[in-house]
Structure 1
Amino acid sequence: MTSLPAVRGAHLVGSINQPTAKDTLAIVAENLGGHVARIPDGEVGERYHWILFQGARFEAVDGLSRVPGEPFMIAGFDLRRIVLDGTVAAAELKFGPLGYAEAALASYQDFKALRDAGSIAQGTRFQVAIPSPLAPLGSFVAVADQPAVYPAYADAIRREIAEIAAGIPAEDLAIQIDLAVEFSHIEQVPVAGNTPDCWYVLGADPSSERIIEAATSMAAAVAAAVPDDVQFGIHLCYGDVAEKHFVEPSDATYLTAVANALSEKITRPIEFLHLPVPIERDDAAYFAPLANLELHPETALFLGLVHHEDGVDGAARRIAAARPAVAEAGFSEFGIATECGFGRGPAERTAPLLRLHADIIEAANA
Structure 2
Amino acid sequence: MGNNVLLVGSVPFDTVEDVMRNCSEALGPQLQAIPDGEVGERRSWVLRLSYQVFNGHDDLETVKRPQRVNGVEQLMPRSRDDVWLFRVKPGVETVRFGNPGYRLGYAKDAVNSYFVFKTLREKGLIPKGQRFQISMPMVNSVIRPLTFPEAADLARIRPGYEEAIAAELDAILAAIPHQDIAIQWDCAWEVSAVYNKPEGYPGEGDIETHTAPIGRLSKRLPADVALGFHFCFGTFGGWPRFAPADLGRAVDLVNAAVKATGRNVDWVHIPALDRSDDAFYAPLAKLDVGQARVYLGLIHSMDSFPQRLAAARKFLPDFGVAAYCGFGRIPPEEMPKILQDHKNALRLAGLQN
TM-score, L = length of structure 1: 0.85
CA-atom RMSD, angstroms? 2.3
Number of residue pairs the alignment of both structures matches: 335
Residue matched to 1:3? none
Q: Cα offset for 1:62?
A: 2.8
Residue matched to 1:305? 298
Distance 1:216 1:108 in 2: 29
Aligned 1:1-366 pairs, distance under 5 A: 9-55=4-50, 56-67=52-63, 72=67, 76-77=75-76, 79-86=83-90, 89-91=92-94, 93-96=96-99, 97-138=103-144, 139-143=146-150, 144-188=152-196, 198-199=201-202, 201=203, 208=205, 211-279=206-274, 281-296=275-290, 298-307=291-300, 310-311=301-302, 313-327=303-317, 333-365=318-350
Q: Which amino acid aligns with 1:94?
A: F
Pair 1:259–1:80, CA change in 2 (3 A): closer
Q: Cα offset for 1:243?
A: 4.2
Q: Which amino acid aligns with 2:137?
A: P
Alignment check: 8 A CA contact 1:72 1:80 kept: no
Secondary structure of 1:343's aligned partner:
coil
Alignment check: 8 A CA contact 1:231 1:271 kept: yes
Alignment check: 8 A CA contact 2:215 2:261 kept: yes
Q: Which amino acid aligns with 1:317?
A: Q
Q: Cα offset for 1:22?
A: 1.0
Q: Which amino acid aligns with 2:296?
A: L
Q: Cα offset for 1:54?
A: 0.8
Alignment check: 8 A CA contact 2:65 2:85 kept: no
Distance 2:321 2:95 in 1: 44
Distance 1:148 1:12 in 2: 34
Distance 1:213 1:92 in 2: 22
Distance 2:37 2:238 in 1: 16
Q: Which amino acid aligns with 2:148?
A: V
Q: Cα offset for 1:146?
A: 1.7
Q: Which amino acid aligns with 1:262?
A: A
Alignment check: 8 A CA contact 1:31 1:351 kept: no
Distance 1:315 1:321 in 2: 10
Distance 2:285 2:296 in 1: 14
Q: Cα offset for 1:71?
A: 5.0
Q: Cα offset for 1:253?
A: 0.2
Secondary structure of 2:322's aligned partner:
strand
Alignment check: 8 A CA contact 2:7 2:322 kept: yes
Q: Which moved more, 1:76-85 or 1:227-236?
A: 76-85
Residue matched to 2:80? none
Q: Cα offset for 1:8?
A: 6.0
% identical equivalent positions: 33
Pair 1:223–1:70, CA change in 2 (3 A): closer
Pair 1:196–1:21, CA change in 2 (3 A): farther
Q: Which amino acid aligns with 1:57?
A: V
Q: Which amino acid aligns with 1:342?
A: F
Q: Which amino acid aligns with 1:318?
A: R
Q: Cα offset for 1:216?
A: 1.6
Secondary structure of 2:269's aligned partner:
strand
Q: Which moved more, 1:145-154 or 1:240-249?
A: 240-249
Distance 2:116 2:74 in 1: 27
Alignment check: 8 A CA contact 2:3 2:32 kept: no
Q: Cα offset for 1:219?
A: 2.2
Q: Which amino acid aligns with 1:322?
A: A
TM-score, L = length of structure 2: 0.88
Pair 1:31–1:242, CA change in 2 (3 A): farther
Q: Cα offset for 1:140?
A: 3.0
Q: Deviations over 1:103-148 (max 9, x none)?
A: 1111111111111111111111110111111122124334232211
